[in-house]
Amino acid sequence: MLRLGKREFGPHEPVIMAIVNRTPDSFYDQGATFRDEPALARVEQAVADGAAIIDIGGVKAGPGEEVTAEEEARRTVGFVAEVRRRFPDVIISVDTWRAEVGEAVCEAGADLLNDAWGGVDPGLAEVAARHRVGLVCTHAGGAEPRTRPHRIEYDDVMADILDVTVGLAERALALGVPRESIMIDPGHDFGKNTRHSLEATRRLDEMVATGWPVLVSLSNKDFVGETLDRPVKERVVGTLATTAVSAWLGAQVYRVHEVAETRQVLEMVAAIAGHRAPAVARRGLA
């Protein structure tokens, strides 16, 4: 059972997390949701399309202009409060690695802290425990926030992923984060080259076997672009293919840009797996 905010999800119930970047320089939308009104419109559309979680980020993952904790909080805290006011039942996640930002957004109404940089600030898990909110425990290969991997090597990339993410999850549990609100994430692209991310994908069932719910953040990432030799705006098909494989292997939560398309993929995989009935049944009956 996965419990986030006011929602509970069964073990075979896929969950969509929609990305809302509160940054002027995000790699995919180039700042389309930096201002409040476009960002709120994005939230409304994502919820209508089937997103259960809205993931709000104030700092782009890649290198770029320095963003202080104060500026990150300025971009996210008030927006979290407004989303909570307008959408009282949606699960609000904030993508941050900083404990002080985590503290502020939890006070504003966040339900989940998405730590994409692998516990680089140990205080973030303590914030999650204190506020009794969820936590995403991610493998980032020991990389510093906002850096790109350079000639990184692993004897066994999945063994390293399991060691790090399960360790972070167990620490969070010991601190007091509710067990049913902790997820683990292999961290595609983070501290990894393309071959590492592909291997992590085909071995996702090993993460699922730990019993912790698995979140994957695949949307339009570089490993998709390099695999297919496609620029950022032409990676949707590759992303959806990877989503289908991840769903078949048991991942539960999907952090995405394209909500409606992802929902169709997840529903189709669930039907093939026998976890969901077809929406209609007419063929062969007339």
Q: Where are the domains of the chain?
A: 2-273
Tell me what the pLDDT averaged over the chain comes to: 96
Over residues 128-135, mean pLDDT:
98
* pLDDT for residue 25 is more than 80: no
pLDDT grade for 195, boundaries at 50, 70 and 90: very high
Q: According to the model, what pLDDT value does residue 211 have?
A: 98
Percent of the chain with pLDDT over 70: 100
* pLDDT for residue 212 is more than 80: yes
Cα 172 to Cα 75, 138, 141, 223, distances in angstroms:
26, 12, 19, 29
pLDDT digits (tens, 9 = 90+) for 86-101: 999 999 999 999 999 9
Catalytic residue among 221, 233, 263, 282: 221
Q: According to the model, what pLDDT value does residue 236 have?
A: 98
Q: According to the model, what pLDDT value does residue 92 have?
A: 98
Cα 283 to Cα 103, 239, 277, 278, 286, distances in angstroms:
53, 30, 14, 11, 7
Catalytic residue among 255, 263, 276, 283: 255
Q: According to the model, what pLDDT value does residue 29 have?
A: 72
* pLDDT for residue 33 is more than 90: no
CATH number of 2-273: 3.20.20.20
Lowest mean pLDDT of 151-155, 169-173, 208-212, 282-286, name the range. 282-286
What string of DSSP letters covers 194-240? HHHHHHHHHTHHHHHTTSS-BEEE-TT-HHHHHHHT--GGG-HHHHH
171 labelled catalytic: no
pTM, full prediction: 0.96
Over residues 23-47, mean pLDDT:
87
Q: According to the model, what pLDDT value does residue 32 have?
A: 83
221 labelled catalytic: yes
Q: According to the model, what pLDDT value does residue 69 have?
A: 97
Q: According to the model, what pLDDT value does residue 275 have?
A: 96
pLDDT digits (tens, 9 = 90+) for 48-58: 999 999 999 99
Spatial distance between the Cα atoms of 29 and 20, rounded to a whole number of angstroms: 10
Tokens of 191: 């501290």
